[in-house]
């Protein structure tokens, strides 16, 4: 029970990496506030998580023994995030871990000059500013506690460039920069801030994730062949599993990583070392 007694807020928790991380945290003893927009977003060309998917995540976590608060909220709205933080304080008395997982991969698939103002703003508002807003909501509590761990889920797109994904790459690089700057800001308060950079993560039916298939669609990769297409760029010759990302998040949330801050941790099967 590596997270026994820890209280965690996880954004984008309805499905995919968010669900895998929530369940892994629950299995390791954490209590949870699970936040998801649970609705589609105008301008994002694919469906996002739903209320029923958020409830499914919560039920899996409760079955693992966790106390769980479900919170429907939008990371573009600071009031929603402050409300989630307040619910964590009311229910659990504190917040030890923030996992900034909420994000979108599209609109993408075009060169930079073809991105509209609205598309650019939407990507940065969710993938970069959303994490900053969540940090702003929970950091006062962590400062008062003089402890905490913030895990910003970036991407290999936060470490290298990808053709036709300028907005996504800019947001994820920005999240790495935010991680490094705030790691310095809050180290004197005993708070650690790290970035987790997944590579190509397989869409597991049990987790109801669809990020990889949507990235494939942006690149006009046939959905029937998309997994093999992405495997061909992996030095370890297999896709990353959501559980690989979740187990790394457990380590970053735990006291085992107490001297790790400002780190950029790839979980990518060696993709970024080529």
Q: Kindly list the catalytic residues.
A: 168
Biggest alpha carbon–alpha carbon distance for the chain: 51
Q: Is the dihedral of CA 146, 250, 248, 63 positive or negative?
A: negative
Buried b (16+ CB within 10 A) or exposed e, 88-122: beeebebbbbbbbbbbbbbbbbeeeeebeeebbeb
DSSP-derived 3-state class of residue 70: strand
Strand bridging mode 97-100 / 148-153:
parallel
Pairwise CA distance, residues 79 & 110, whole Å: 33
Helices 166-186 and 130-145, axial angle in degrees (round to 10): 10
């Amino acid at each position: 029970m590596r997270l026994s007694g820890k209280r965690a807020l996880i954004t984008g928790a309805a499905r995919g990496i968010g669900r895998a991380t929530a369940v892994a945290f629950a299995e390791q003893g954490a209590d949870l506030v699970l936040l998801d927009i649970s609705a589609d977003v105008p301008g994002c060309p694919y469906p996002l998580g739903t209320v029923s998917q958020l409830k499914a995540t919560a039920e899996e976590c409760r079955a693992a023994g966790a106390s769980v608060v479900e919170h429907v909220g939008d990371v573009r709205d600071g009031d929603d995030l402050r409300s989630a933080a307040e619910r964590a304080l009311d229910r659990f008395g504190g917040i030890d871990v923030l996992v900034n997982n909420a994000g979108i991969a599209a609109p993408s698939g075009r060169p930079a000059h073809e991105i509209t103002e609205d598309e650019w703003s939407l990507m940065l508002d969710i993938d970069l500013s959303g994490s900053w807003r969540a940090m702003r909501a929970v950091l006062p509590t962590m400062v008062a506690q003089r402890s905490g761990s913030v895990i910003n889920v970036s991407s290999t797109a936060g470490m290298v460039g990808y053709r036709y994904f300028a907005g996504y790459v800019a947001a994820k690089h920005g999240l790495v920069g935010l991680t490094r700057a705030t790691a310095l800001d809050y180290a004197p308060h005993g708070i650690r801030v790290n970035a987790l950079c997944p590579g190509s993560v397989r869409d597991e039916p049990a987790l109801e994730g669809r990020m990889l298939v949507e990235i494939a669609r942006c690149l006009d990769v046939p959905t029937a062949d998309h997994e093999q297409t992405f495997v061909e760029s992996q030095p370890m010759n297999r896709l990353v599993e959501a559980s690989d990302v979740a187990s790394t998040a457990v380590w970053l949330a735990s006291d085992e990583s107490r001297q790790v801050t400002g780190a950029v941790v790839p979980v990518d099967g060696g993709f970024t070392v080529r």
